[in-house]
Amino acid sequence: MKKDEIPQDPGALGKIAKELSYVVDENGNYTTGFSTGWEIKMKALDVAWENVEKRIAEAKQKVLNGEASPLLYYMELKLMDVEIVAGYTGFWKWQVKKHLKPEVFKKLPDRKLEKYAKLFEISKEQLSQVS
């Protein structure tokens, strides 16, 4: 890439810092330049976020249909999976998987609910709702 070809599109990172790139100058020597962002890259990030939104909406629907506990919704909302939730709460992965079942989740004692509430940064009461 030549220095004058560095893309200067709006980018997510561009809001806080320009990105340093290695490029060649007119004599073919390597130098550095700055980019505000690249549209191709921005769009790839958009696709990733569209997927996140879709997963959140699907999770919400599953909770409303009674197919999953609200844990699934909050997990998706925080971009987490069972491994990450287990990591932060100290539960085993198999426990988290069990808690994803509505009937198990409903019977969880307060101290377990509190761990989830703390992780998702909401109150225990909010934890049972998905809107």
Q: Which spans of this chain sit near other proteins (rule: CB under 8 A)?
A: 1, 6-7, 12-13, 15-24, 28-30, 32, 35, 38, 40-41, 43-45, 47-49, 51, 55, 79-81, 83-84, 87-88
The secondary structure of residue 32, as a DSSP letter, is E
Nearer to other proteins, 41 or 101 (CB): 41
Q: How far is the CB of 96 from other proteins (least distance, A)?
A: 12
Q: How far is the CB of 128 from other proteins (least distance, A)?
A: 24
Nearer to other proteins, 49 or 92 (CB): 49
Q: How far is the CB of 101 from other proteins (least distance, A)?
A: 22
H helix intervals, the chain:
39-64, 70-77, 82-89, 93-99, 102-106, 110-120
Question: How far is Cα 61 from Cα 119, in angstroms, rounded to an integer?
Answer: 22
Provide the token pair at 95.
Answer: 């426990």
- One-letter identity of residue 43: K
